[in-house]
Amino acid sequence: MNLNGISFPSWKSLAPLIVTVVVALWPTPDGLSPHAWYFFAIFLGCVVGLILEPLPGAVIGLIGVTAAALLAPWVLFSPEQLAAPNFNAANQAFAWAVSGFTNSTVWLIFGAFMFALGYEKTGLGRRISLWLVNAMGRRTLTLGYAVMISDTILAPFTPSNTARSAGTIYPVIRNLPPLYDSHPNDPSMKRMGSFLMWTALASTCVTSSLFLTAMAPNLLAIALTESATGIQVNWGQWFMAIAPAGILLLLLVPLLCYWLCAPEVKAGHEVSDWARDELKKLGALTRKEIVLVLMVVTALLLWIFGGDIISASLVGLVVICGMLLTGIVTWDDILNNNPAWNTLVWFATLVALAGGLSQVGFVHWFGTVVGGQISHFNPLMAMVALVVLFYALHYFFASITAHVTALLPVILAAASGIQGLDMQMFVLLLLPTLGFMGILTPYGTGPSPVYYGSGYLPSALFWRLGAIFGLLFLVVWLAIGMPWLALIL
């Protein structure tokens, strides 16, 4: 804000600080130590900052960790810890502040971002999309399946659904509707554009849940869950848990879009002809593309089957080294990959902050309180209630990362206080909803604003389809996921 030449902080900049101060001044709840309450105040202020985004998320996380470390004697350590012999608060505070950078999941995210860079530099991602469109684009319905398959192929290696869908799929499919005289912000959008754009968004929301490495917040959620509960979930466990429901939804999404967002054009050869021409311009597979295919297939096999041989995070670093040695990317490419470095700092600081909630005892206290309130629930009913609550509250978040950071520790704490509840099953029921929930709103996940702004999905249509598909995803997941998890666990 600027008034008579004097700059004042905006309300978005002041809101996180105000929330932190107000919560800190609020009387400490019974059963909770003051330092834990003060830490929670800082954490809550960071969450508000992540939601409003007056600064980049990485900056918010860095400020939060730094503030907590500076105030460690009052917010991070108990009086008993401070009184212990040989306890150096300054060194321990710094060790905690940088602990997120030693988290293996954070480096897995970083490595997977470099996979996406390889797809971009070689053009392999665009080639895959064009190949599928060429093969399946003569009918509108099969074109929808081509879009879905393109996203599915890229998803295991692309931890950003924004990079995958908005950055790779959207630039290809935005060229398709005009070939059928379907234009944005025009009644002709219904001819082809609305169907195609909604199919792409719905598909990426499903693939974001189907694969652990298809969306960075999945990996963050795994790290936060391990920090809060000690439960570890690997790539194979995640996929096995969601495969029946996720694969069914993937197969249904283009058909449902075809019914609920029906295109007026049912068939034609223009799209496949255009894709064929674009493929001719690309020529044959290059050496770099072939090498990258071998690398990503090897990485996927190691992620699935090689957990006892090599860490998943180390696989990512090996592939980075391989791409550098073969010239697929250069060191300057890596240095200039701002999203990757931003995410590294962002997630590392968020992991430390969320882990701090457990360290100071807040999560245990909250779980005891909430668990006591719903302890009379049947454990299965409690699972469903908590999952539905977690899912529906995404209407209030413009970032799945912020959603995870704000609510996941709280929901896990509540579940841990319910006697007889199977935490392993609950974790595998809760976490895969993260991708699904992105369909709810025009701001629900990274690609949403891109498709919303395409001109093919007007506001009323977006919100209506978001509610329908969001409910459908959740119902199918609970109806299939719960019995399946009970069977395999």
pLDDT tens sequence across 275-311? 788 888 888 888 999 998 898 888 877 876 776 788 8
Q: Is the pLDDT of residue 207 over 80?
A: yes
Question: Cα(133)–Cα(322) distance, rounded to whole angstroms?
Answer: 30
What is the pLDDT confidence band of residue 9, given thresholds at 50, 70 and 90? low
- According to the per-residue pLDDT averaged within each range, which of 151-155, 203-207, 411-415 is highest? 203-207
pTM of the model: 0.73
Position 2 scores a pLDDT of 52
Position 400 scores a pLDDT of 87
Please answer whether residues 198 and 170 qualify as being in contact, where contact means their C-beta atoms are separated by less than 8 angstroms. no
Please answer whether residues 167 and 173 qualify as being in contact, where contact means their C-beta atoms are separated by less than 8 angstroms. no
Q: Is the pLDDT of residue 120 over 70?
A: yes
What is the pLDDT confidence band of residue 129, given thresholds at 50, 70 and 90? low
Question: Of residues 306 and 58, which shows the higher confidence score?
Answer: 58
Q: Is the pLDDT of residue 1 over 70?
A: no
Residues 174-184 have a mean pLDDT of 80
Q: What percent of the chain has pLDDT over 70?
A: 96
Position 324 scores a pLDDT of 94
Position 349 scores a pLDDT of 87
Position 68 scores a pLDDT of 93
Question: Of residues 282 and 476, which shows the higher confidence score?
Answer: 476
Q: Which residues contact 350 (CB under 8 A, 6 or more apart)?
A: 61, 100, 220, 224, 401, 405
Position 470 scores a pLDDT of 96
Q: Is the pLDDT of residue 386 over 80?
A: yes
Q: Which residues contact 288 (CB under 8 A, 6 or more apart)?
A: 121, 122, 326, 327, 328
What is the pLDDT confidence band of residue 240, given thresholds at 50, 70 and 90? very high
CA angle 156, 162, 165 (to 5 degrees): 70
Rounded-to-5 percentages of helix, strand, coil across the chain: 75, 0, 20
pLDDT digits (tens, 9 = 90+) for 312-323: 788 888 989 999
Residue 307 structure tokens: 């957990």
Q: Which residues contact 173 (CB under 8 A, 6 or more apart)?
A: 129, 133, 147, 196, 197, 200
Mean pLDDT, the chain, whole residue set: 86
pLDDT digits (tens, 9 = 90+) for 27-50: 999 888 999 999 999 988 988 887
| Phi then psi dihedrals of residue 255, to 5 deg | -70, -40
Position 49 scores a pLDDT of 86
Question: Cα(346)–Cα(113) distance, rounded to whole angstroms?
Answer: 14
- According to the per-residue pLDDT averaged within each range, which of 92-96, 268-272, 350-354 is highest? 92-96
Report residue 150 CA to chain centroid gap: 19
Residue at token pair 């044959």: 284
pLDDT digits (tens, 9 = 90+) for 136-152: 777 889 889 988 998 99
Residues 180-191 have a mean pLDDT of 86
Position 332 scores a pLDDT of 94
Question: Cα(99)–Cα(13) distance, rounded to whole angstroms?
Answer: 27
What is the pLDDT confidence band of residue 7, given thresholds at 50, 70 and 90? low
Position 395 scores a pLDDT of 83
